[in-house]
Chains A and B, each alone.
Chain A
Amino acid sequence: MSNLTHLDQLEAEAIYIIREVAAECERPVMLYSIGKDSSVMMHLAMKAFYPEIPPFPFLHVDTTWKFSEMIKFRDRKAKELGIQMISYTNPEGLKNNINPFDHGAGYTDIMKTDALKQALDKYQFTAAFGGARRDEEKSRAKERIFSFRNSQHAWDPKNQRPEMWKLYNSKINKGESIRVFPISNWTEKDIWQYIKRENIEIVSLYFAKERPVVERDGNIILVDDDRMRFLPGEKPMMKMVRFRTLGCYPLTGGTYSSADTLDAIIEETLGAVASERTSRVIDQEAAASMERRKREGYF
């Protein structure tokens, strides 16, 4: 008799969910953001179907402002694993040069939310896996693992279907779709411990290194390419920094850290003084309105 550890149980739950979707949903896709959570989710998908490769494609919504290292990582990973990786960018946004410097919150709406909806519609996906976790913020804490979206991709938190035991209800009408969150019950710490246990490769931005950064409103922003715009008096400085979350480089705050190994990161995370989300610039602006954005179709 082997008693499952806490990580084993989380892993089993996620694999069960991923397999259910593959078995029951018509056109599933796994969203891949290249972050550590996505890396864990992708690893779970590989394990769930081995020796078969996952019977669905992966989708990355590329805002064109991701850390350049992320894109290289994505392409290499897809090749190594032999999976189908779809990259999608909002063509309108691209044409109009929508960028995080000039367009603020509108940038996120157009390059992330709209782009994601467009991609899901274009490929007619009926179910999309997302790597969101319930401990990330309050509106997610109450969201089901199978979460329904109407034809406008909107979430109706008042009308969530009861979710009992492992009996996920994947029935939808035409035009509707499901978001599925297989790692809902994982915490940041679980993610790191699992990455270590399974030896999962993650983007090196998570590890501390000397990097050119500027400090802006208490956030540490990496100067990732020459599109970076400086405020008067700002100059890149070389600092030991790492990132606890990855997104678009001008919108993602790093932390000063010397944690350059997994163990050091776990050490730092275990003793963390701040909950994870504070390091994502966009989320500070929009924390309160996350639920609104979800209702409007932001994943």
Chain B
Amino acid sequence: MKDLLKFLTCGSVDDGKSTLIGHMLYDAKLIFADQKQALELDSQVGSNDGKIDYSLLLDGLMAEREQGITIDVAYRYFTSDNRSFIVADSPGHEQYTRNMAVGAAFADLAVILVDATKGVIQQTKRHSRICSLMGIRHAVLAINKMDLVDYDENIYHNIHSDFKALCEDLHFDTVYSIPVSATEGDNLTHLSVNTPWYKGQPLLSFLENIDVSKYQKIDGFLLPVQRVSRPNRTFRGFQGEIASGSIKIGDPITVYPENETSKVKSILLGDKNVEEAFLGQPVTVQLEDEIDVSRGSVLASGRVPLVADLFTSTLLWMDNERLVEGRSYHLKIGTKTINATIMDIKYRIDIHTSDHIPAEYLEKNEIASVDIATTDRIVFEKFEDNEALGGFILIDKVSNMTSACGVVEHALRRSDNVSFEKMDVTKEIRAEKKGQKPIALWFTGLSSAGKSTLANALEKKLVSLGKHTMVLDGNNIRKGLNHDLGFDEPDRIENIRRVAEVVKLMNDAGLITISAFISPYESDRITAHEIIGEEFVEIYVSTPLEVCEARDVRGLYKKARNGEIPNFTGVSSPYEVPKNPDFVIDTSNSSVDDSISQIMKYLDQYL
């Protein structure tokens, strides 16, 4: 029976990927006659002086490019006498790196193209690193366009050495370089007379013969449970694909993380009862005892997987939004999906130099070492020990995008994790726990302008949306914290300073604050802004003095006019209109509900 080789082709745009595969299939007579005819016909129409353009066979993407359709991995299928092949043809452009990574996660082997006239370039490094990260252990460097360098042996050797040097800190078991010409067909299906110095195999034979079977790095049986099947009262089976080793009826089983034990009672391979089942087979296992097993549990025999709630990973960030410490995602590892928090971005890896660079956030397509904590203990393995239990993805909780993929390097214990202890619980983490971004809404305006009414109504609205909030106003500040302060200018300044400091602390705690103070002086508001920082949002309640005075909710204007209150803003003390408020609202002609919906509309960008 034939086996299957899944391989990836990658390289820069115009390195000759499509031509290479197209020409190989054509020469090996592995294409349908109608495809062949169409190819020969298309090529005649094309400009290439009637020479066959082999790339047409693969470039479904060409037409698509013209239509402005996205470039993505395309899968192609062919079969030779010895093997079935699936080619993941991945895009060359840097901006499609994540699509290239999809192809790499799929494949067992990578054919990495370089242009002999250019040698190993940055894109070669990026692709090789991603291939290695995603678990590819066999790399073939197709040094293409040898016809353009007169089939020069030295050029081949130089590029091959560069590539070997590059692969030194990667995890390839096979590193093989083949000098080829995709247009001329050299060393594709048979050795070329143009490279008598090349003693290796042509590409197709290499692909047909290489052994990519994953040798087991760990002993023992592992079955991540996909699903518990209970069709009736007598049958309770655990369904999944064997991720390591093999299992026989009667074998002892420990279930992780539950840590319960039993024995194998029966094994179904599809719809057939079997005595024994092996790596890669989809099975349904029944156990002797009724023990607690659910999706995400792992049945193990002869192997103790890692069980922890903190681990160090290497990940590829793939989202347009940057990754910051403290954010939470859904983490999917094996068959388990769980809430996880990015605890520490330890460093990012420079693709070019392999250097470790300190980083506080990650941009799309960056690779980094990151510590991740899960809300509960989960079962996993190091990726190098087992792919099925060592690879994970992070899913954005709002967009549902697959934001990152990564591999487990090792488990950490919370107690002995230096980086975790080194890193304090940050503002971001506190906010993340509350599922919100802290903001400091600062209402300013005359007495009776509507600040407190709006602040209280707004708080109700925000709380109804699940936000965590705090209103600060004269009532709760003046009577406690600031009871020692009066209303002259120095005390007003101190009042605002203290309020701003409290707001800052509450923002640090992850809260959304709403403060309602007259705060009449521009300079004080500037100070408050400086203390609070970027969370500060100034909302000017611009209701005119006449309206405020007509309202005179607390009878204060009357008293001020009678001279009973000195330094009353608007009457005997100035109100400086904000120069650049973030939002202005006049409550003279709008109901509270209207005003709140206007404010909410504006706040949308912050929430």
Interface residues of A (CB under 8 A from B): 1-12, 15-16, 19-20, 22-24, 46-53, 134-135, 138, 141-142, 144, 157-158, 160-167, 169, 171-173, 184-185, 187, 189-190, 272-275, 278, 288, 291
Contacts and interface: CB of A to CB of B under 8 A. Distances in A.
A12 B270 CA distance: 9
Contact of B84 (A2, A6, A15, A165): A6
Contacts of A158: 69-70
Interface stretch (B113-121, B389-397, B588-596): B389-397
B86 interface: yes
Contact of A48 (B72, B134, B213, B282): B282
Given A23-B226, A52-B231, 16 more contacts: A4-B3, A4-B278, A4-B280, A5-B4, A6-B1, A11-B282, A12-B282, A51-B271, A158-B70, A165-B135, A169-B400, A171-B400, A185-B86, A190-B84, A274-B32, A275-B35
Contacts of A135: 75-77
Contacts, number: 172
A74 to B, nearest CB: 22
A141 B280 contact: no
Counting chain B CB atoms within 10 Å of each CB, which of A6, A20, A189 scores highest?
A6
B99 A162 contact: yes
A8 B2 CA distance: 10
Interface of B: 1-4, 32-35, 60-61, 63-64, 67, 69-70, 72-77, 79, 83-84, 86, 98-99, 101-102, 105, 134-135, 213, 226-227, 229-231, 235, 239-241, 246, 268, 270-271, 278-282, 284, 295, 318, 330, 332-333, 335, 337, 387-388, 391-393, 395, 400-402, 405
Interface secondary structure of B, over-half rule: mixed
A23 B64 contact: no
B391 A167 contact: yes
A273 B231 contact: no
A158 B392 CA distance: 23
Contact of A165 (B73, B76, B270, B391): B391
B600 to A, nearest CB: 21
Contacts of B35: 275
Given A16-B241, A46-B271, A272 B32 contact: yes
24 contacts: A1-B278, A2-B281, A4-B280, A6-B2, A10-B4, A11-B282, A19-B226, A23-B227, A49-B229, A52-B235, A134-B75, A141-B74, A141-B76, A142-B60, A144-B102, A161-B400, A161-B401, A163-B402, A164-B105, A164-B393, A164-B405, A167-B332, A273-B33, A278-B34
Contact of A160 (B60, B72, B77): B72
Contacts of B282: 11-12, 15-16, 19, 47-48
Contact of B270 (A23, A47, A157, A272): A47
A134 B278 CA distance: 28
Nearest to A24: B337
B207 to A, nearest CB: 14
Contact of B241 (A6, A12, A144): A12
Nearest to A292: B67
B49 to A, nearest CB: 27
A6 B2 CA distance: 6
B226 A16 contact: yes
Contacts of B231: 51-53
A3 B32 contact: no
Nearest to A171: B400
Given A16-B241, A162-B102, A51 B235 contact: yes
A3 B271 contact: no
B84 A162 contact: no
Contacts of B73: 142
A47 B270 CA distance: 5
A273 B387 CA distance: 40
B327 to A, nearest CB: 16
A163 B102 contact: yes
A164 to B, nearest CB: 4
A162 B74 contact: no
Contacts of A169: 332, 393, 395, 400, 402
A185 B75 contact: yes
Nearest to A143: B72
Contact of B60 (A16, A19, A138): A138
A141 B60 contact: yes
B387 A275 contact: no
